[in-house]
Amino acid sequence: MSKKYTGVIPPIVTPVDAGENVDEKGLRKLIGHCVDNGIHGIFVAGSNGECMALTQGERDRAIAIAIDEAGGRVPVMAGVMDSSTRRVIENIKRLEQMGEAAAVVTPVFYSRHATQDETVRHFEEISRQTNVDLFIYNIPPFTGQTLKAETIFRIAQIDKVIGYKDTSGSFPDFQKCLAHFKGTDFVLHQGASNLSAASLLLGADGYIPSMAPLFPEPHVMMYEYGRKGDIANTMACNDILSEISEIWPLSKSQTSSTKYALSRLGFFDKRVILPTEPTRPDEEKRIDEKIAAIRERIARFLEARR
């Protein structure tokens, strides 16, 4: 079996300047930091990367920069999600000119979904007209459609579809996928942080944690322990990741809290794209305190394993 897009693949934030254009220097530093710290891949222009808030030109620019900076050192997944099949195909056509990356495709959004068949047809036409690897992305809060396990099985039979990122939160359906694709080349990623440890222990190929760039060690270690079936150490890492997830509610917007926390790496500004609510000074103080506490906990955790 040959699987390329495995391991810890964070949905990176997109640093922007005061004009809401991509901060190329900051983005390159963030990607370099991920690679240097053992993270296995990059997911650019996902929900966490404010992909639909960027202009089309700036989204394409972020993807091109990510592919260039990764430079083949780690694989890149790129969000091409959009509101119609034709628009997604046009996004992928531009992606094809940028270099090697997998296209991450959701059901269309801002649409009254009638049937699961719509999304099967969506992937069939995308596959017919494009020439890149395709990932299914199930994220119901943003698309208005929850893809069932049986629909994933159908889409997976379409040419060029190589994997699935599940952020539906439906663990029974994800377990069905784990059983159905066991022993195949099809890649399964868990997108819900609270289900990642159990998913890895049951055979998932990786997970998509937004805070991995800030705390790479426990994220990479959980993947390694999980793939080995080491329950005790996987759950010990998961305890740390559960505390990391407490950062998100510390501001009104999860995008803002994530971006502010990652800005503490010193590579880019905390700026989010309008109309997202920015972090307030009191929220930032709480986030800073939480980051410091987590770093102390990670230091103790790593020391105990030396």
Predicted confidence (pLDDT) at residue 25 exceeds the cutoff of 80: yes
pLDDT digit string, tens, across residues 152-171? 999 999 999 999 999 999 99
Predicted confidence (pLDDT) at residue 1 exceeds the cutoff of 60: no
Alpha-carbon distance 40 to 32, whole Å? 12
Alpha-carbon distance 212 to 12, whole Å? 9
The more confidently predicted of residues 14 and 3 is 14
pLDDT digit string, tens, across residues 196-207? 999 999 999 999
Predicted confidence (pLDDT) at residue 180 exceeds the cutoff of 80: yes
CATH 1.10.630.10 fits 7-230, yes or no: no
pLDDT category of residue 305 using cuts at 50, 70 and 90 = confident
Structure tokens at 53: 């808030």
pLDDT score at 279? 98
pLDDT score at 185? 97
Structure tokens at 152: 């994933």
Which positions ≥6 away from 185 have C-beta within 8 Å? Answer: 1, 2, 3, 162
Alpha-carbon distance 241 to 68, whole Å? 30
Beta strand ranges found along 17-72 (DSSP E): 42-44
pTM of the model: 0.96
Q: 78 — phi, psi (to 5°)?
A: -125, 130
Predicted confidence (pLDDT) at residue 179 exceeds the cutoff of 60: yes
210, 9 Cβ separation under 8 angstroms:
no
User: Looking at residues 35-58, what average pLDDT do you find?
Assistant: 97
Q: 21 — phi, psi (to 5°)?
A: -100, 155
User: Which amino acid, one-letter code, is at 224?
Assistant: E
pLDDT score at 289? 98
147, 161 Cβ separation under 8 angstroms:
no
Alpha-carbon distance 29 to 21, whole Å? 16
